[in-house]
Amino acid sequence: MSINGVDVIAFAFGAFNLLRLASYLPQIVAVARDQHGATAISLSCWSIWIGANATTALYGWVNLGDLALTTINAFNAACCAAVLLLTVYKRATARFRQTGSYPLYALQRSPRNVCTKSRLGSTTATALRPGDGQRSAGS
């Protein structure tokens, strides 16, 4: 039995993918423990990795019929998605701790028709929304 270059490449591919799969756990734990909104995590980078792994899984399944390639890359995409979703959650909870409200909730519950004083001393008023005595366009 002889080992050729293709065997070495296949072994290296398998070994590094196992290491990559194992490396997600410390990253997920680090994000889960972070108390400052996981600001060191790049959402765009992890999104690209999700796309790259998911499309590689689809390519392996549809074009090659390679179950191992498909499974490894699908799991990689799922782990990347876990990091991304956990990061989004951590950022939202950090923002909640700072402001007392979640970003989308704050937009929905913004005060209506309130005058505020800016740092420069000028007074501004928020616009009325439809339902506050104003008619919306088209009504």
And the tokens for 69?
Answer: 């390639």
Tell me: the pLDDT tens digits for 109-131?
A: 444 444 444 445 544 444 444 44
Residue 92 lies in a domain: yes
Q: Token match 């990061």: residue? A: 87
Q: Tell me what the mean pLDDT of segment 33-42 comes to.
A: 91
Residue 9 lies in a domain: yes
Short-list 108, 4, 5, 88, CA closest to 39:
88
Within 10 Å of residue 107's Cβ, how many Cβ atoms? 9
> In which band, very low, low, confident or very high, does the pLDDT at 1 lie, cut at 50, 70 and 90?
confident
Predicted confidence at residue 107, as pLDDT, reads 46
Q: Residue 48: CA atoms inside 13 Å, Cβ hemisphere, count? A: 5
And the tokens for 29?
Answer: 């734990």
Report d(CA 127, CA 136) in Å as an integer.
Answer: 12
Report d(CA 126, CA 133) in Å as an integer.
Answer: 14
Whether this model's pTM surpasses 0.85: no
Contact indicator for 84, 47 with CB cutoff of 8 Å: yes
Q: Domain range holding 10?
A: 5-108
Residue 60 lies in a domain: yes
Residue 122 lies in a domain: no
Residue 131 lies in a domain: no
Total count of domains within the chain: 1
